[in-house]
Amino acid sequence: DTGVSQDPRHKITKRGQNVTFRCDPISEHNRLYWYRQTLGQGPEFLTYFQNEAQLEKSRLLSDRFSAERPKGSFSTLEIQRTEQGDSAMYLCASSPGSQRRNTIYFGEGSWLTVV
């Protein structure tokens, strides 16, 4: 396993711009999660995919946020019209199989700074 890969690792953008993050899960992991984490806080759930189906979305995921997982492989998280409050680390995680008993594995995260 090569691990969960996230790109870019760091992004600085001006307020109002759109940004997109990509996540490549561990091969054959059919569950994929997006979380957001700010300094001193634990990760907050954003959204969850089982294969290509987006099964749950948090209230945190406003209409400026959209996530996709075409073909059940990599996933993208897009933030439109960024605001300073969007500055955070965006974490992707994946887990194998359909059973809930399995460990989830995180990527290194994508840092977003909105100036």
Partner 1 sequence: KQEVTQIPAALSVPEGENLVLNCSFTDSAIYNLQWFRQDPGKGLTSLLLIQSSQREQTSGRLNASLDKSSGRSTLYIAASQPGDSATYLCAVLPGGSYIPTFGRGTSLIVHP
Interacting residues toward partner 1 by CB under 8 A: 4, 6, 31, 33, 35, 40-45, 48, 50, 55-56, 89, 91, 93, 100-101, 103-109, 111
Q: In Å, how far are 17, 51, 68 from 94, measured between CA atoms?
A: 28, 11, 14
Cβ neighbours of residue 63 closer than 8 Å, sequence gap 6 or more: none
CB of 16 to partner 1, least distance (A): 26
Beta bridge partners of 32: 49, 94
CB of 78 to partner 1, least distance (A): 20
Written as six digits, the tokens of 47 are 């959204």
The residue (of 54 and 80) whose beta carbon lies closer to partner 1 is: 54
Q: Which residue has the tokens 């594995």?
A: 105
CB of 105 to partner 1, least distance (A): 6
The residue (of 9 and 81) whose beta carbon lies closer to partner 1 is: 9
